[in-house]
A and B are shown apart, each in its own frame.
Chain A
Amino acid sequence: MNWQNGLTVVLALLLIVVLVNYVYFQNETRKLFAATQSIEKEKLDLNAEWARLQLEKSTLVANNRIEQVAREELNMKLPEDEQVLVIVR
């Protein structure tokens, strides 16, 4: 009889430990899930920003813009055929 009582007590204690653990990890899970959610969100935002920057870059380096800046602001032009010197080794 005695050893049976002992076992019950041990099992009861074990159960309490397990339940406390369960609650603890449940809480952990929630925290981690919240963290993944915010990271996912951040990833989406960063992706969106990357794409936006890519677009911005591609408009900045658009050939017609470069041509316009080179010709109008920097006063550059293509050399005439007569102005080209060919280097021969």
Chain B
Amino acid sequence: MRKSQHKQVNISFRIAIVMAFLLCCFVVVVVRAFSIQVKGAEFYQSQGEKRHVREVEIPVSRGSIYDRNGEPLALSTAMVSVGIVPGQLLDQFSKVEQLAEVLELDADELKQIITSRKDRQFLFIKRRITPMLADQVKALNMKGVEFRTEFKRFYPTGEILANVVGFTDVEDVGQEGLERTYDNWLTGSTGKKTVVKDLLGQVVADIDVDELEPAKPGKDLHLSLDRRLQYAAYLELKKAVYKHRATSGSAVVLDVKTGEILAMVNQPSFNPNGSKESSEGLRNRSVTDIYEPGSVMKPFAVVAALESAEYTPQSVVNTSPGEYKVDGYIIHDFRDYGELSLVDILVKSSNIGVAKLVLDLGKEHLWDVYHRFGFGQSSGSGFMGESAGYLPHFDRWRTADHAALSRGYGLSVTTLQLASAYSVFANQGRYRAPSFIKGNINEDKAILDPMIASQLTDMLSHVVMDNEGHKAFIPNYTVAGKTGTARIADKGGYSDSYMSSFVGFSPVSSPRLVVAVSINDPQGEDYYGGLVAAPVFTEIMKTGLRLLNVPADQVSRTLVQADAEGEFEGADDAE
């Protein structure tokens, strides 16, 4: 009994000891936990952050843009962006001053930023500095200053291609032009990997051999544009716009065989490497701006006449007395041309002639011809922001509209649409959507009887070749084309400003290039398309034919004979 009693006392005593011991342990744990969780939180958190396993981004560059010969048009170069962790800089203000000096920042402002945003994890203070400057900053060896690779976009061709290629914003996202249109293609995907970083934020070890997400650099883009031709075209257009004090202008060069856009220039333009303030120059007017084309539409009215099989190019239309009343409106010609064949209607650009032709045909037929040539629809180039132009449905045409449409009023087109439509004549009646990408040749479709296409080609060549001293005349080459001079519509009527244009192709025997030029509101004495736009066409075409080595098809002035071995048999002037 005693023994057992003693045992019992002993047991409860032991239990008390164990309980006390466990309680102590518990208190120790709680106290420790408290000191770690609450009191030491800041210390441990910062320590943990310093030896962090982190996911870091692997920066990738945006794809470059090249012209058809591999010349760079847009390049991304690696630059360094400097960021800070404000909290870590609070106690080293003396160094902050040095930092500000190297980066050419205002020291007081920087200090203010650091104090006011001390809770921020990271913020950029200067983006995209050169690696050399970055090395100077690194030499300061500051805690809390971090470096990230970012890319800066350069456009070596500057204003020459600015509104076609477009530009990117500070986050490297395409904002305008082809940079925007092909943004997905050009943008790479940033990779991710986990690394261990030390106290200074330097990477000390890669954790995974495989990246979490592999970095995929952006793909390069090879455009159909030819930088040399682009330069020449830009210069000519700029000269003409300046000379005639025009408000704007555009020119497009198409390769007839492939539909590739070889050059596309616009005025005004801007410097894509500088600030993009002038909103006027940002648009790619060749595809975004629409206007009533005027006489350059007449060949399509003649197409309608020829398709009706009631006319041949030699059919005669009486345009006397130079005035013609339709639906209460009077149509004028430059003067009384009398009887004109269809060829002469185009050569003289007779308003009455085309009006009489189309009024004999149904409205639907003319609409159908215009529609087939791509007017009123997007050209299919894929350019973001491209305008479809405007072609009203024939149900809504009054007779006066019908007549007006024959000479290019009452519808709106882009310069690119005009170039594409004319390439149908040059390409045996087949329409091919234009393309900005080298080798990306769109399928063509037959929209016009090849016979009529060749008749039109012949008629359009008369427009230039019959007229001695025509501004579109190019020595040694045959040229086909049509001028246009359209009054620009204003509120409630037509203003005194004009749109001067010329669209044509060369050489006629085997067309290679189509060039469309439009110059908006020339202020000088000249405003006729033949005097303002045609000279630009000529210079661009000449350069294009030379650059592409297109053989001359009408050697007119001087001839050098070479025999099979390439020996010259003597030069003689064959005037």
Mask: chain B, 51-92; 1 = CB below 8 Å from A; 0 = not = 000000000010000000001100111100000000000000
Number of interface residues of A (CB under 8 A): 27
Mask: chain B, 294-338; 1 = CB below 8 Å from A; 0 = not = 000000000000000000000000000000000000000000000
Q: Does A85 contact B (CB under 8 A)?
A: yes
Contact yes or no, B76 A88, CB < 8 A: no
Contact yes or no, A51 B75, CB < 8 A: yes
With A33-B206, A58-B156, A62-B156 known as contacts, the answer to whether A88 contacts B75 (CB < 8 A) is no
Contact yes or no, A52 B77, CB < 8 A: yes
Mask: chain B, 554-566; 1 = CB below 8 Å from A; 0 = not = 0101111111100
Contact yes or no, A63 B476, CB < 8 A: no
The residue on A at minimum CB distance from B229 is A63
Residues of B within 8 A of A33 (CB): 204-206
Mask: chain B, 539-562; 1 = CB below 8 Å from A; 0 = not = 000000000000010010111111
Q: Which of A4-12, A15-23, A41-49 contacts B (4 or more CB under 8 A)?
A: A41-49
With A48-B131, A63-B228 known as contacts, the answer to whether A84 contacts B475 (CB < 8 A) is yes
| Minimum C-beta distance from B222 to chain A (A) | 15
Q: Does B122 contact A (CB under 8 A)?
A: no
Contact yes or no, A54 B149, CB < 8 A: no
Contact yes or no, B561 A88, CB < 8 A: yes
Q: A64 contacts which of B77, B78, B231 (Cβ < 8 Å)? A: B231
Residues of A within 8 A of B75 (CB): 51, 54-55, 58
- In A1-41, which residues have CB < 8 Å from any B CB? 29-30, 33, 36-37
Mask: chain B, 198-218; 1 = CB below 8 Å from A; 0 = not = 000001111000000000000
The residue on A at minimum CB distance from B555 is A86
Q: Does A77 contact B (CB under 8 A)?
A: no
Bound-complex Cα distance A37 to B75 (A): 26
Q: B78 contacts which of A51, A61, A88 (Cβ < 8 Å)? A: A51
Bound-complex Cα distance A69 to B205 (A): 53
With A44-B78, A58-B72 known as contacts, the answer to whether A89 contacts B562 (CB < 8 A) is yes
Bound-complex Cα distance A18 to B310 (A): 100
- Apart from the given pairs A61-B71, A63-B228, A86-B558, 19 other A-B contacts in the complex at a CB distance below 8 Å: A30-B205, A33-B205, A33-B206, A47-B61, A48-B131, A51-B76, A54-B72, A55-B77, A63-B227, A64-B231, A82-B557, A82-B558, A84-B476, A86-B552, A86-B560, A88-B559, A88-B561, A88-B562, A89-B564
Query: Which residues from chain A sit less than 8 Å from chain B, CB to CB?
Result: 29-30, 33, 36-37, 44-45, 47-48, 51-52, 54-55, 58-59, 61-64, 81-82, 84-89
- A-B interface, 9 closest residue pairs, ranked by CB to CB distance from nearest: A58-B156, A51-B77, A63-B231, A81-B475, A86-B555, A48-B78, A85-B560, A87-B560, A87-B562
